[in-house]
Amino acid sequence: MTKEKVLQTLNSISDKMSKEEYYAVLSFLYPEDFPPNDSTNKVIESLKEKAKKHFKAERKGNEVVIEILD
């Protein structure tokens, strides 16, 4: 999925998350464009914990792999 498609998708669901959560997702996906800070890292960890039942995301080099769980 291209960066533009990802951003379009995130924009379409941004009303379902806080600004901090939105920035944290952008920071996780594109750290070079949205550098993480301590606050962002805490939000990322919180989101990961909440989402463990639904999906798994991990960075592999420059690639982010998101696995949707049943």
Encode pLDDT of 18-51 as tens digits: 888 888 888 888 888 889 899 988 988 887 787 7
- Beta partners for 29? none
Rg of the chain over CA atoms, in angstroms? 12
Query: Contact, 29 vs 7, CB < 8 A?
Result: no
What percent of the chain is predicted at pLDDT more than 70?
97
**What is the Cα–Cα distance from 34 to 25, expressed in whole angstroms?**
9
| Crossing angle (nearest 10°) for helices 19-29 and 38-51 | 90
Q: Closest Cα to residue 42, out of 24, 19, 16, 22?
A: 24
